[in-house]
Structure 1
Amino acid sequence: MKASRVLAGVILISAVAWIGSGVFGRDGEQTAALAPQVEKQASALFRVAVLPATVEDHARRVVLSGRTEADRRVNVTARADGTIDQLNVRRGARVKTGDVLAVISDEAREALVAQAKAKLEQRRVELRARLTLIEQGNLAPLQKPQLEAELRAAEASLAQAETELSKNQVRAPIDGIVIEVPVEAGQPLQVGAKVAEIISLDPMLAVVEIAERQLGGITVGDTAKVKTVNGVEATGRVRFISAAASQQTRTYRVDIELANADGRLPDGVTCEVVLELAPQPAAHVPRSALTFSAEGRLGVRVVGAGDEVAFVPVTIIEDGLEKVWLGGLQTGQRVIVQGQDFVKEGQRVAPVEAPAAMVSKG
C-alpha cells in the first residue's frame, strides 16, 4: 500500500510539472508573438508632414485700386460784368499765381476811380484850409472831427472804386495748368461766369477707398507705393483718412500725397496703390495648412507634446496666393501642412518633416 501511494504521488507530480511546462511555454510564445504586433501598431500611426513655425514682425501690405486726383482744382470766374477785351490763355497753358488770364471791358469803372481821386483831393484841400482857419480862431474847433471824417470817407470811396476797377482783370489764384477755357474774346460776361479752370499737379493725390475691416491698420504718415496704368511709379505717404464712410459703398476715402514737380502723374488716371501697414507678429505658412475646427473656427492643426494633434485658432494677417501670414502661432510649433484634414485633436500621429519644395514655396 505504501509503495502504491508513493507511485501515485510521483505520477501526480510528474503530471503537474508536464502541464505547467506547457502553459509557461505558450505564455512565452504569446509574448514573443505580440512584440511584432506592437511594433506594427507603432508603425501604423498616421503620418503627417509638419513645418516649424517662425514668428517674426511682418509689415502687412494692402493692394487697392484707385485713381489720381489733382490736389487743387479751381474754377476762375468773372468778378464784374462786361465784355472780354483780352483772353491771354488757352487750354494746356501753365500759369503762376497772379497771372492775368483775361481782361474785361472797363464799363466806366476807370472814370469812377478818377472821380473818387478828385473828390479825395478836394477834401484834402478843404481840410488844410479849414485847419488854418481853426488855428487863427476864425473857425470853431468842433468842425475838425467832421472835416477829418469827410476826408476818410473820400479815401474809402477811392479804395472802393479802385477795387472795382481791379475786377476788370481775371487773375490766376494758384500755380497750375489751365485745363478748360469756356469763353472767347468779345464774349459778354456777368459776375460769376466761368472764365477758366486750373488744376495744380504738384502735389498729386492717389485716392483709394478702403474697407472698414482694414481701416484700423492704416495711419496718417504710412508709406504707400503707387503705379499708374501707363507705367509711372511713385512713392508717397498717407495724408488723409476719412472719418466717415461713404453712404453708398460703406468704404473710407484715403488720400496719398505724391511729389509731382515734373508733372509725370496726370489727373484722373487709374492706379494701383500698395499700402505698407504697421508690422505685426506673424508666421509664414502654406495656405493649404488652413483648416476649420469642429466649431467652425479658422486655424491650423499642430503636433504637440507626445506627438498628439492639437488645434490652434489663427487670424490672417496677410493673404497670399500660396502662403499666408498668420497671427496666433508661437515659434517652434509644428504646423501640420499635409494630412491635417485626416486627423483630429488628441490623436497620436507620426510627424515627418515637410518636403523641401513646400518649405521654400512662396
Structure 2
Amino acid sequence: MWKKPAILLAILVVPLLFAWQYLKQAPSVKVSLVQPVVQSLSTKLDLNAVVINGQIVTITALVDGEIGQINAREGISVKNAQALAVLDDKKAQSLLDKARAELVYSEQKLKSTARNYARLSDLSQAGNASKQSVDDSYDAFRNAEAELAVAKADVSLAELQFENSTVSAPFDGVVTKQFAETGQWVEAGTPLFQLAASDGYLIEAQVDASDWALVSIDQSVTLTTESAPGKTWESAVSWIAPTIAINDRDAKAVAIRFAFGDDAPPLLLGQEINAELVLNKVDNVATLPLSAMVETEPNQYAVFLAHQNKAKLTPVKVGLLNEMHAQITDGLTADDAVLVSQQIRLQDNMPVEIQ
C-alpha cells in the first residue's frame, strides 16, 4: 500500500533535486588583481658570442739566417716597430759594407771620367784631340754614370737585407704564438710569431640565417660573461658579414661583430660572452604579463575583468610582445585591474572572489 505514495514522492523529489543543483550558484573562485604597468618593453635575440681579434698576423722571417736573439715571448705585449727577433746579421753587414765601398769607388770613377771628358772636349775644340778620343771619353763617362746607379741600388738592397735581419712588430699588440727559438736556422718565409693587434679585439656572434634580416648596424647589444658575475654592459652592432656561412653546428649562420663597449670588464681572446640583441623597443607603454592574458585566436588576446562579482572576458589589442609581457594598445583603461587565478582557468561569467 506504500508503494504508490513512495513512487509519487520520488517522481516529485528527483526533478526538484536536479533543478536545485542546476539553479544553485557555483562556488566563487578566488582571484587576485594585476594592473597594467607602464614601462619599457623590448624583444631580444639571445646569442652565444666569443672574443676574437680581427687583426691577427703571422710574422715570418724575411731573409735566410740563424736566429741570434728572441726578444718577445708568447703572451708579451709589444709596441709598433719593436724588435721581436734578430737574425745573425754578419753576412748582411759584410754585404752592406762591400756595397758602400763599391758606391764610393763608382762615385770617384764618375768624377774621373767626367774630368777626362771635359778636358778632351776642350782639347778637341783647340784641335789638339781627336774626335775618337772625345767619343771614347764620353762613353766612359756614361758607363760610369750607369755603374754609379747600379752601386746605389746595390747599397739600397744591402741596407734592406740588413734591416730585414731584425724582425719587428708591425703594430701594437700581443704575441699569441711563438714558432721559433734562438739558434734555429730559418729560411725566408718561415713563421716566427703570431701577433694580435691591441685595437683589433671584438666580440663576434653567429646569427641564424633565418634571423639575420632582424639585425642592423648600430643595433643595441646587452652583454654579460661568467668571469664578471652580475656585470652587464652595452655595445652596438658594428659589422654584419656579407655572406652566409656554415657555423660550428653545421648550420647556416651570419656572423655579426661589436666592440667591447666602454664599460666592459677585462676580457681574453676566446672568452665566451652572452649577448642579448635588442630587436624592437618601445618606451613608456602599458604592459601586462602574458600569464594574465588569454589567447582566444592566433594573435588575438583577451583579459578577465570583474563585473558584478563575475569574470568578464574582455578583448584587448596588443602591440609589441616578448616572452614575458605584452604591450596593451587598446581595451583597458588606467584604472582597470585584470583578474588572475592561481587555482583554475577562468571562464567567462564565472563567479569570483577578489582576494
Q: TM-score range by the shorter chain?
A: 0.5 to 0.7
Check whether the contact 1:302–1:335 (CA below 8 A) recurs between aligned residues: no
Further displaced range: 120-129 or 77-86: 120-129
* 2:114 counterpart of 1:117: no
Q: Matched residues in 1 for 2:209 and 2:36: separation?
A: 30
Q: Cα gap change, 1:146/1:246 in structure 2, threshold over 3 Å: closer, same or farther?
A: same
Query: SS state of the match for residue 224, structure 2?
Result: strand
CA deviation after TM superposition for structure 1 residue 162, in Å:
1.3
Q: Cα gap change, 1:314/1:54 in structure 2, threshold over 3 Å: closer, same or farther?
A: same
Check whether the contact 2:295–2:302 (CA below 8 A) recurs between aligned residues: no
**Runs of 5+ consecutive residues of structure 2 not aligned to the other structure:** 1-22, 24-30, 123-133, 306-310
Q: Matched residues in 2 for 1:219 and 1:231: separation?
A: 27
Query: SS state of the match for residue 243, structure 1?
Result: coil
**One-letter amino acid of the structure 1 residue matched with residue 106 of structure 2:** R
* 2:268 counterpart of 1:266: yes
Report the equivalent of 1:16: none
**One-letter amino acid of the structure 1 residue matched with residue 254 of structure 2:** Y
State, as a whole percentage, how many aligned pairs show the same letter: 21
* 2:267 counterpart of 1:254: no
**One-letter amino acid of the structure 2 residue matched with residue 286 of structure 1:** P
Q: How does 1:1-362 map to 2 (within 5 A)?
A: 58-106=41-89, 108-136=91-119, 137=121, 139-140=134-135, 143=139, 147-202=144-199, 204-231=201-228, 233=231, 234-247=233-246, 248-258=250-260, 264-280=266-282, 284-289=287-292, 292=295, 297-301=298-302, 317-319=321-323, 323-324=324-325, 326=326, 329-330=329-330, 332=332
Q: Cα gap change, 1:337/1:111 in structure 2, threshold over 3 Å: closer, same or farther?
A: farther
Check whether the contact 1:210–1:252 (CA below 8 A) recurs between aligned residues: yes
The aligned length equals 305
Q: Matched residues in 1 for 2:148 and 2:212: separation?
A: 62
Q: Matched residues in 2 for 1:105 and 1:259: separation?
A: 44
Query: SS state of the match for residue 191, structure 1?
Result: coil
CA deviation after TM superposition for structure 1 residue 284, in Å:
2.3
Q: Cα gap change, 1:70/1:351 in structure 2, threshold over 3 Å: closer, same or farther?
A: farther
Q: Cα gap change, 1:228/1:308 in structure 2, threshold over 3 Å: closer, same or farther?
A: closer
TM-score scaled to structure 2, two decimals?
A: 0.67
Q: Which has the larger radius of gyration?
A: 1
CA deviation after TM superposition for structure 1 residue 291, in Å:
5.0
Report the equivalent of 2:129: none
**Runs of 5+ consecutive residues of structure 1 not aligned to the other structure:** 1-39, 41-47, 356-362
Q: Matched residues in 2 for 1:142 and 1:309: separation?
A: 112
Check whether the contact 2:42–2:322 (CA below 8 A) recurs between aligned residues: no
Check whether the contact 1:53–1:331 (CA below 8 A) recurs between aligned residues: no
Q: Deviations over 1:124-145 (max 9, x none)?
A: 2222223333444164596466
Q: Deviations over 1:317-355 (max 9, x none)?
A: 422xxx32x46844747897759x877xxxx96999998
Check whether the contact 2:42–2:320 (CA below 8 A) recurs between aligned residues: no
Q: Matched residues in 2 for 1:82 and 1:238: separation?
A: 46
Q: Matched residues in 1 for 2:55 and 2:337: separation?
A: 53
**One-letter amino acid of the structure 1 residue matched with residue 268 of structure 2:** P
Query: SS state of the match for residue 101, structure 1?
Result: strand
CA deviation after TM superposition for structure 1 residue 242, in Å:
1.6
Q: Matched residues in 1 for 2:173 and 2:263: separation?
A: 11
CA deviation after TM superposition for structure 1 residue 96, in Å:
0.8
CA deviation after TM superposition for structure 1 residue 153, in Å:
2.4
Q: Matched residues in 1 for 2:43 and 2:241: separation?
A: 21
Q: Cα gap change, 1:243/1:293 in structure 2, threshold over 3 Å: closer, same or farther?
A: farther
Q: Cα gap change, 1:238/1:107 in structure 2, threshold over 3 Å: closer, same or farther?
A: same
Check whether the contact 2:44–2:280 (CA below 8 A) recurs between aligned residues: no
RMSD: 4.4
Check whether the contact 1:83–1:189 (CA below 8 A) recurs between aligned residues: yes
Q: Matched residues in 1 for 2:338 and 2:170: separation?
A: 65
Further displaced range: 180-189 or 254-263: 254-263
Q: Deviations over 1:157-192 (max 9, x none)?
A: 211121112221111222122232232211111222
Q: Cα gap change, 1:262/1:103 in structure 2, threshold over 3 Å: closer, same or farther?
A: farther
Check whether the contact 2:221–2:278 (CA below 8 A) recurs between aligned residues: yes
Q: Matched residues in 2 for 1:223 and 1:120: separation?
A: 63
Q: Cα gap change, 1:315/1:337 in structure 2, threshold over 3 Å: closer, same or farther?
A: farther
**One-letter amino acid of the structure 2 residue matched with residue 131 of structure 1:** A
